[in-house]
Structure 1
Amino acid sequence: MTELVLSRPVKGRSLWIDAWRRLTANRAAVVSVVYLLLMGVACLVGPLLTGHHYTTIYTDYVRVPPSLTAYPKPDQISGMLDELIRRMRVDLVAWNDQDDRISLTIRSSRPIDPRVVRYFDRSSSFADPKVETTSPDGLTLTLSTAVAKHYFLFGTDNTGRDLLTRTLIAGRVSLAIGLLAGLTAVVIGVIYGATAGYLGGRIDDIMMRIVDVLYSLPFIFLVIMLVVFFGRNFVLMFIAVGAVQWLDMARIVRGQALSIRRQEYVQAALALGVSPLGILWRHVVPNTLGPVAVYMTLLVPQVILLESFLSYLGLGVQEPLTSWGVLIAQGAKNIPSATWLLIFPSIFLTSTLFALNFLGDGLRDALDPKDR
């Protein structure tokens, strides 16, 4: 007598598990994810470790080039001392450098006020000035001051602010703007477009005519109205901008939904009594995620560039905040004399856009149900 062997039921794989496995098998996409995560961590934590605040102005270091060694350089100290002596309106007798402190002797034809040390406090290169000795007639003073060491790995900008710190702060702003506007556009566009495409008929006509009306509104006028309502709060403003960018997303998803609603598995789900909401969530939306992911990776850089344009018009990010687009625009004006002002922000922006594109290609391949 033949024995029947009962095997355990095979556990199926969901679309999300299968997509995750396919995504992790794509090396370019995995490297892009790691890079974007590292970029996000660097922009969040980096400004706390550079030793500079993004608003601090170093008057002695305006547009200094990048350097791995500390400023001031040995050949710069003499010139800085001469500038301070000129402002103090005294004569420099002698100076010497001992153990990171400078000792200098000054003389004047009139008694010298010991408060002249305040000129050293105003300098970015010196710190902790002290009056060591004063001559009986008050015409000669011996001062000592420490040399303040500053590292500018990316150099400084036109006003003497550390470019590395400002580039990382700009990354916070640019990435936040791109993600906020992109996620807002995706959520609204996918829900709106999938609903219109699946329901079809008169409802689809009415919903898409609303999209056409919104398309006809002048974009700049709409942005100006948003600034009037939300003020200079760039977070609220770009969430609202993302709420306008969903129009393209809605059309893309609607076209996909019109094709998906005629597929056999959707008709089978209807025959089994699945509700329209369930069909939208389990069948229509998952099968549109491939084009949505690709468009999302294109929308983020588009919003970043849009932010640069609005900031140029005075409607976007304002000082002391900055963004990669603003830094690149400022660096382009200084190409002949300070190329580093353009190179470093451009590298950050370009590498991030490449990573987003590679990630978008990986998501498209992983979420395409035809390749399962």
Structure 2
Amino acid sequence: MANSMPGESPRTEETESVLTGEGQPTTTEPVAEKRIEGRSPWLLAWQRLRRDKVAMISLGVIVLVILGAVFAPLATTITGHPVNEQYRQAGLSPDGLPIGPNSTFWLGTDDLGRDIFVRIAYGARISLLVGVVATALTVVIGVIVGLAAGFLGGIVDTILARLVDVILSVPFLLVAVALVSITGPSLLVTILVIGFFSWASVARIVRGQVLSLREREFVEAARSLGATNSRIMFVDILPNVLAPVIVYASLLIPVVIVVEATLSFLGLGLPPPTADWGGMISESQNYYTVAWWFVVFPGAALLITTLAFNLFGDGVRDAFDPRSDRMFAG
């Protein structure tokens, strides 16, 4: 112990290390590091995502599209135009052509005199519904197959891995066109076809993650406690493979939306008079030169929505990847 002056309380090395100035405890760097280490990976990913301006703007666009789809009936209330109402006198020119944007029809009319603004709002419902539900179906199938293949191994892994290879080798769009042509166009068929032929990539991602996790200490501890295979897969391993699955799903939604629009453009989407963006673009084929709004506005809605989902998906991927520097550039 160091010598102290008369009248002063003795100071230990510990006292001197924690007191400065007026005797207030200092905030040391190890404490800050400890706090950072205590944050969950999900919280850290969210904080990185919030710093990505492009991703946040894209998320705002996605929210606006969702609100537009949810409140699509308000478009009818505000304009007074039902989604499938044909205004052959007020909505068509004397030559029978669509009329352009004006105070009555904000985005113009289509070839039957229907309000394009209202139909775009209702079309967002179809695109988002197919995109989200088909992606969810894809993720569920892919996660189950990937977990089983990676964790169980052996003959199960061999069979499922070969099945994944077969699915990935199939020309998806051609098969989708063939199946929809045979069964007839409907919302359910479209979702099932897209979901069934899209899960293989998810399964491959999950399988790779599970192969690296199944020999970890926490899995061995669960086995020693008598946990069943299903419990280990879905309770212990699944939470650790969700991050790459979420990233893939966020990038898959715009792909599904484009596939649905493609099927509709080819006449294999929802039957008329259902409003969907691909069908509207298909109906405008004969009016490119005389009614630009007929193709531009539905096409812009499709482009903006898919671009927003893609940019947001890129942001989610970067948020879960601490090595990414894209969001901090500039």
After TM superposition, the score normalised by the length of structure 1 is 0.65
Separation in structure 1 between the aligned mates of residue 52 and residue 254 of structure 2, nearest angstrom: 22
In structure 2, relative to structure 1, the CA distance for the partners of 1:286 and 1:270 (3 Å cut) is closer
Q: Secondary structure in 2 aligned to 1:196?
A: helix
Q: Return 5+ residue gaps in structure 1 as ranges.
A: 70-150
**What are the equivalent positions in structure 2 for 1:278-293 lying under 5 Å apart?**
280-281=233-234, 284-293=237-246
Instruction: Give the structure 2 partner of residue 339 of structure 1.
Output: 292
Q: 1:54 aligns with which of 63, 83, 102?
A: 83
For 1:29, the aligned partner's letter is A
Instruction: Give the structure 2 partner of residue 188 of structure 1.
Output: 141
Separation in structure 2 between the aligned mates of residue 232 and residue 343 of structure 1, nearest angstrom: 25
**Conserved in 1, the CA contact under 8 Å of 2:54 and 2:311?**
yes
Deviates more, 1:328-337 or 1:159-168: 328-337
**What are the equivalent positions in structure 2 for 1:14-53 lying under 5 Å apart?**
14-49=40-75, 50-53=79-82
Q: 2:222 aligns with which of 263, 273, 297?
A: 273
Separation in structure 1 between the aligned mates of residue 304 and residue 268 of structure 2, nearest angstrom: 26
Separation in structure 2 between the aligned mates of residue 333 and residue 292 of structure 1, nearest angstrom: 42
Separation in structure 2 between the aligned mates of residue 30 and residue 261 of structure 1, nearest angstrom: 32
In structure 2, relative to structure 1, the CA distance for the partners of 1:339 and 1:314 (3 Å cut) is closer
For 1:309, the aligned partner's letter is T
Separation in structure 1 between the aligned mates of residue 220 and residue 165 of structure 2, nearest angstrom: 34
Q: 2:101 aligns with which of 47, 66, 71?
A: 66
Q: Secondary structure in 1 aligned to 2:43?
A: helix
Residue 302, structure 1, aligned to residue 255, structure 2: yes
In structure 2, relative to structure 1, the CA distance for the partners of 1:156 and 1:34 (3 Å cut) is same
Residue 210, structure 1, aligned to residue 163, structure 2: yes
**Conserved in 2, the CA contact under 8 Å of 1:180 and 1:239?**
no
Q: 1:324 aligns with which of 277, 293, 308?
A: 277
1:298, distance to aligned residue in structure 2 (A)? 3.5
Separation in structure 1 between the aligned mates of residue 188 and residue 69 of structure 2, nearest angstrom: 17
Separation in structure 1 between the aligned mates of residue 311 and residue 238 of structure 2, nearest angstrom: 22
Separation in structure 1 between the aligned mates of residue 279 and residue 190 of structure 2, nearest angstrom: 17
- Count of residue pairs the alignment pairs up: 282
> Could you list the runs of 4 or more consecutive aligned residues of structure 1 that deviate by over 6 angstroms after TM superposition?
1-5, 226-229
Instruction: Give the structure 2 partner of residue 105 of structure 1.
Output: none
1:23, distance to aligned residue in structure 2 (A)? 2.2
Residue 355, structure 1, aligned to residue 308, structure 2: yes
Q: 1:311 aligns with which of 264, 267, 271?
A: 264
In structure 2, relative to structure 1, the CA distance for the partners of 1:290 and 1:16 (3 Å cut) is closer
Separation in structure 2 between the aligned mates of residue 293 and residue 270 of structure 1, nearest angstrom: 23
In structure 2, relative to structure 1, the CA distance for the partners of 1:32 and 1:218 (3 Å cut) is closer
Separation in structure 1 between the aligned mates of residue 180 and residue 114 of structure 2, nearest angstrom: 31
1:223, distance to aligned residue in structure 2 (A)? 6.4
**What are the equivalent positions in structure 2 for 1:151-166 lying under 5 Å apart?**
151-166=104-119
In structure 2, relative to structure 1, the CA distance for the partners of 1:321 and 1:59 (3 Å cut) is same
Separation in structure 2 between the aligned mates of residue 273 and residue 287 of structure 1, nearest angstrom: 15
In structure 2, relative to structure 1, the CA distance for the partners of 1:171 and 1:368 (3 Å cut) is same
Separation in structure 1 between the aligned mates of residue 277 and residue 189 of structure 2, nearest angstrom: 19
Q: Secondary structure in 1 aligned to 2:216?
A: helix
Cα RMSD, aligned residues only: 3.4
Separation in structure 1 between the aligned mates of residue 120 and residue 273 of structure 2, nearest angstrom: 12
Separation in structure 2 between the aligned mates of residue 214 and residue 354 of structure 1, nearest angstrom: 27
In structure 2, relative to structure 1, the CA distance for the partners of 1:283 and 1:24 (3 Å cut) is farther
1:157, distance to aligned residue in structure 2 (A)? 0.5
The higher radius of gyration belongs to: 1
**Conserved in 2, the CA contact under 8 Å of 1:307 and 1:317?**
no
1:35, distance to aligned residue in structure 2 (A)? 1.5
**Conserved in 2, the CA contact under 8 Å of 1:287 and 1:367?**
no
Separation in structure 2 between the aligned mates of residue 43 and residue 179 of structure 1, nearest angstrom: 13
Instruction: Give the structure 2 partner of residue 106 of structure 1.
Output: none
